[in-house]
A and B are shown apart, each in its own frame.
Chain A
Amino acid sequence: MMARIEYALRETWASFRRNLTLTMAAVLTSAIALLLVGTTFLIQRAFENLLVQWRGDVAMIVFVRSDASPEQIALIDGTLRAAPSVIDVDKLRYFDKAESYAEAQRIFVGDPVTLSLLTPETIPTQFKVVPLTQDTDLVRSLADQYRTLPGVEAVALAEDEFEIISTLSAFVRTVTLIMSLVLLGVAIGLIWSTIRTAMFARRREIEVMKLVGATNWFIRIPFMLEGLLQGLIGGVASCAGVWVLNSAWTSGVAAFKPGTGISSLVVPSGYLSGVMLILLLLGAIIGAIGSAIAASRFLDV
Chain B
Amino acid sequence: MIKLDGVTKVYGTDTVAVEGVSFDVAKGDFVFLVGPSGSGKSTLLRLMSREEVATEGDVWVAGRNVSDMPPSRVPFLRRSLGNIFQDYKLLLNKTVFENVAFALEVIGKPRHVINEQVPFVLELVGLQDKSERLPNQLSGGEQQRVSIARAFVNRPLIMLADEPTGNLDPATSEGIMGLLQAINETGTTVMMATHDHRVVNAMRRRVVQLDRGAVVRDQERGVYE
Chain A interface residues toward B at CB < 8 A: 1-4, 7, 204-205, 207-216, 218-219
Contacts and interface: CB of A to CB of B under 8 A. Distances in A.
Contacts of B81: 213
Category for how many chain B residues contact A = 20 to 34
Contact of A212 (B71, B103, B111): B103
A211 B89 contact: yes
B102 A213 contact: no
A4 B154 contact: no
Interface string B21-51: 0000000000000000000000000000100
A275 B24 CA distance: 66
Contacts of B154: 212-213
Contacts of B49: 211
B91 A208 contact: yes
Q: Which of B72, B81, B106, B107 has the most CB of A within 10 A?
A: B106
A84 B110 CA distance: 80
A1 B109 CA distance: 9
B78 interface: yes
Nearest to B92: A204
Given A208-B89, A212-B154, A3 B105 contact: yes
A213 B79 contact: yes
Contacts of B79: 212-213
Nearest to B77: A213
Contacts of B150: 212
A273 to B, nearest CB: 40
B24 to A, nearest CB: 24
B168 to A, nearest CB: 20
Interface string B84-110: 000001010000000000110111111
Contacts of A211: 49, 78, 83, 89
A95 B83 CA distance: 80
Contacts of A214: 75, 106-107
Contacts of A210: 75, 78
Nearest to A211: B83
Contact of B78 (A2, A4, A212, A218): A212
